Structure 1
Amino acid sequence: MVGGGRTGVHLLLGFVIGAAFYLILYSSQSEENFKNSLAAFTSCRSPESEGVDVLEPSALEKGRIYKDVSEHWIVHQDSMPTPPANQDATPKVTRTRFAATELGTRERIMAAVMAESALALSINATLGRHIPRVQLFADSSRIDNDLGQLTNLSPYKLNGQKTHSMVLGLLFNMSTHDNYDWLLLAKDSTYFNPFVLLRMIDTMNWNEPVIMGEPAEDGSGRCRLDSGVIFSQPAIALLLINRGACSSLSTATDDDQLAFEKCIQIATNLTCKPLHQGVRYEVWRGERADSPAAHDSIEDWKHSAAFRRALVVPRLLSDADASALHDYFVRVEMARADREIVKMEADLSRLAEEEARETGEAISWPPALPPFAKPPNRYQVPTWEYFTMTEIFRSEPNQNVRRLEGKDFDDVAEVVVAARNEVESEEPELEFVQLRNGYRVFDPRRGMDYMIDLTYRKTVNEMLDPENRFEGDNEAGHEEGLKEIVVERRVHVSRMIASTQLMNQAPYVKEDTDVTVVIPVASEKDVLPARKLLARQARLCLSPTEETRKTRMVVAVFPLVDTRSVTAISNDMEELKRRCKRSLLETDVLPVRPAVSTEGKGTAAAAALDDAVDRYGANNIYLLLSPHADVQKEFFDRARINTIKHYQVFFPVPFVEYHPTISGMEMTEKEEKDTPTEQAREAALSRLRDGVEPKRKRALIVQKEHGRFDSQDFTCFAVYGVDYVTARTKLGVNERRNDLIAAFLGQDGIHILRAVEPTLRIRYHKRSCDMESVDTEDIARCVDSKKENVAAKDQLAKLLFHEK
């Protein structure tokens, strides 16, 4: 009893000491929080034992505590680690490479052709133009030189196996079941009508497992491989995934075609269907089922409606059979398209008439196009060109009438013939006299519209037509005779825009391409203008912004230039390079080897570009500038953007200065106001008669009094070196031309961009045309440009005639 008391005393003493420490260390608030937490903890109930007040340990071990006590927790948030240098902290989104993959879109059909002979080349040519993809599969032992050059050929080696093992394995590696809605499997001796095939797959749904073809004669449900087989997308997946079930057929004694047919049936477990969703798999075999298809039989077969709608023509003998069949079915498709167009036009006309009756407006022609010659508002009224059979009146600032010749004459003559045919088909009694008036205007939505006024002569009997009698005529005489009268007819003709096509994606261009500026100095008279051009270029480099694009200024000096002038140009180039350090400008003086005449400007430009491309490479943009040019800084950016490699050359339309003496730029504005008109006129005529070199006292500004945009000036242009080398072969080495535009005309791959360029100005100079040029049009263009760039018509009139 005493021992138990001693033990209890020690235990009681431990509890007392622990309680004392607790009261000392913890505050009353902590005690209150602990009580609340304990009450909440003990109030939780088991979800499986309703009405139990105390949470059992077994329930705690099973994780059945659902009471939220998070309001007493403290959240510690770690800061985001600093990303390494040159890395973005924004998380990257991983996207698929192609939109088609992300959206799950597929191509419509793929053709898998087993190539066994030269017929595969013809099938590849006929089908490849119409369906997205044609893939050829051939045994490597059968591939010849012509077949081996195809890029869509997949060779294989049998190694004692059947053909279906290799072909299906290659198709599985291509992921055909993921990329195409339909699969066409055929032999190269079978012709497929691509137009019927495309209409067929556009009519049916691909999401149902089905194989279509010509069933075998034994009733086994197989599809004949020599007639081709079409698989839907689910059937493709079944065929390729279950191709291992055909391994037992690789050692069978069946031939390759029969083994392939059995493999298709075993792997897909589908029966061949000649009819699906109302679409029939049409096979044409001629009079006999086993007779081969020959191109000589087409004349006999074309009278059959079943042959015209056939999808498959098997058992071809040669590539001539495939070509003849394809040509025939192309003609059938064109006739079908013509019938659909006629039907569509009739439907449009009917709908237009119904709409006209409802709205009360006139019927527009051609159908579905805006009305004829109806401007959208008063600010966009079109400008009509008036023409006769000899002249045409254009809307030009300096020349309003020109002779009707060339393509304009052919255009007008064809339109007049069409208008005459329309009038004379309705009134054959009329006798054509002449074209009275003609007008034409271009509408980008309708095409070229014409109004043709035709004059006809008509013989009438005045007794039967008393309205045509004239006052004062003898009535009795008119009753007995015939009278010729003049009849006017107006015809509206429209030449619609034809052969429209969607352009490919525009090539990518950027403004940081290197530019090499070439300035040819062919004679001594070009030295001073070239030095002035370099001085103006030096002033452009004074801008505070740094240039990161590389520009190279090259002065091409010809042997006819004096040595002292070459030294002066070299000094100017060194000074230009020193001032343009921030612009990364390079300068160079390029001596040109051949000695050319100073009259052949086109020849001088060609020689300068030839040596420049040889020296600096063909991958740069070469900007040829006339020594008399005056350019702004923005012009170089436009040259970079508008010059596209293997696609486009840039021929800007410059602003050409008039003669300073005639245009009045020799005098300042104060001198012009103080000098009488007659005195200024006589002084200007005196300087012109004496041949005094004009001096400019005003800045050259783009105004109609100072000059004009000359569309016949081709002295400045930008081109890639590789494109220039390709076009240069069109011109002879010593061929004399006034400009180089002829080298880029008539090319399919290179476009010529012409645009008005206010930042490119040509100072006035005595322009000489090479009259020994090989092209008469080149001479005429140069002479016309030279005459029109002297002055405006009103300025010439003020100079030659006294003002009243």
Structure 2
Amino acid sequence: MKLHRRLSEQVNKFAPKILTRKPNPSTKKTKLVRPRYYSTELGIREKMFVGIFTSEEKINTQAVHINKTIGHLVDRIKFFITAQYKLKTKFNLTGLVGFTDARHKYRPFQVIKYVGDSFAQDYDYYFFANDYTFINVHRLKDIVNKISVSMDVYLGTKVKDSSYCNLDAGIVISSSVLKAMRTHLDWCIMNAISEDHSENIGRCIYHSLGLSCQEAVQVINCSTYQIYAFRWKVFPPFKLKHFELGEHLLELTGKANFNDAVTIYPVLQKDDFYLLNAYFFKVVQNLEILNFKPGIVIKKQRLSILHEETQRLSEPLTEVWPPGQRPGAKPATRFDLPRQFYFNMTHIFFPDDFTNTRPHMEADLLDIENVIDEVKATVANKYPRNLQYRRLINGYRVFDLSRGMDYTLDLGFRDLNTGKEVIKRFEVCKPLGKVEFILVPYVTETTRVTILLPIQEMETSLAMDFLANYSTLVMDRKEKTFLMLVLLYQYNSESKGTTDPFSDVKNFVTKAAVKYKNDDAKIAWVSIRLPESPVPLTVEDNKSLNFATVDLALRKVGVDSLTLVLSVYCNITVDFLNRVRMNTILNHQIFSPIPFRQYDPKISQYKSLEVNKNTGHFDREEYRFISFYGRDYVIARKKYQHKMPLIRTDNDIVSILGDEHKNVGNLFEMFVKYTDTLHCMRATEMSLKVVYHEENDKTRKNLFLGNEAELAKLLLTKRDEIIELA
């Protein structure tokens, strides 16, 4: 009993227990969305955004002056005004932002909302000022470049007896301050009690972060100079328009606070903006030369002087090398530089983005050997009995489409006097040959395409599907086409009345001809009576009927037409018809498109016919679809009639149904063998799709049941039902 109890206790320890709580729900993994640019993912931002408060009256004056003096030096500049209409219809200045709310006291908050929503993640610092403030942008950029981006910055000049920064003198705020203001913007709007922009901005920042105006950050101050207090005089605002800055500029330049100023206000004269801009630009140049990194700056100055001297000396030198050859095209950007390839006598290095080395092709190696032979001959002529060629050390080549091939060769020679190796560099140019005019045929997408569509009696339902699709995609768009339906009647079939197997097709053609009679899209039919046979004649069993169909139909459409042969299993588009027009050239070229053929939908489980590796594949064994000009067909057909008799009437069809001819029906093969001047083009065509259908052709290698994975899966799941695998 004790042993049994002990064993039961040990077993119970490992017995499964039912937990009453619910299992943890499966968490769906969030998909990582990679940004488009590295700078976005790494959080790299531009340095400074500038916003100017202005008005409609000042756009073409003050705003334009500010834009011309600093617009090209800052990362972005915007001008904020009140506008009740589209800005582009009245003002030509770019960067205008108009607000429909004309209430003056809410303007700072409208600006903060716009900038916070549009540019909060793009810049480190934001500078705001009025339109009568001159901005020494070089000094301003120097300040923001020295301040840490991790600090909350509200930098400027305090309003007298206040803790707010003066907007007239300019305000610098950091990205963190802008985001905090945007978060608390509703409170700022509700508590805006003043018409003063400086106070409203300051109150909002103080509520958001508890910051007061900072006149210095990290021992860096943002000073301003006020013209009101110039020369210990007070100029009333109405006299500022008559203040001539040029008369007093010499005196002002002697003041340290003027030279160190980031902003100067108020500036109301047009010339004063440009005068101040020219003066401070000159100051910056002098500081760079004398104080700021003198060694590097002086070297840059020397390089600039040398570059200018080189340009001056090279102006009269109009000759190019080699003489008479045009120079290479100057690349617009660094991405347009022609690629330079390094090579030796056996390999070329990095010929493309995916290959490290590649052996020389025969033509390339022959070209290199010819170039070296020319260099050796030149050296032998210039240094007779002094130098002996030994080896190629380095080789570079560049191909310029406008110039030709340029080689740079480092060749090793043996000095016959000393026995030492001498390395010499040679530049060799292989210019392009003379320009030659080549006659090319003219093709256009406005040519009418005549489509021959053979229809057998058992294919009427498929033909109706084709016609419905064709009328929607082609005829409704008024494409310049002519659809000729070739109706293949059996010997004993009725061709009239309700027993006509093609009655539905004929009714559709009649209605469509009336509907589109004034359009370029035409439609008609021609009937062909097949000869008497003990079994129904089909195109699949008698491929020679392909020639009979074209021979008889071409008599109806004419030999000058561009003819395209299709089948009822096709789905076509306007793009495909345009490619037929461009690829079929009279007396020059025929076109045999390779269609995309659908796998069996029961196996692939894809009902829609789309170009996808799981839904189908390009059928390289299909040659039925072909386009040509009737005149080219007639020429080739006459040469081919000794193998395939010409069909002039329905009664002649019996002559091609014998064993000698019945399995010959490839029109493309006829063009290849019996035309000397025609180019036979064959290419995949994704806009020509063929729906799945079974064929009795035992010579086919691909039955288009499905791809390898689908067929393997079918064998594994249905192996018990397949007798061959049992």
The answer, yes or no, to whether TM exceeds 0.5 is no
| TM-score after normalising by structure 1 | 0.34
Larger Rg: 1
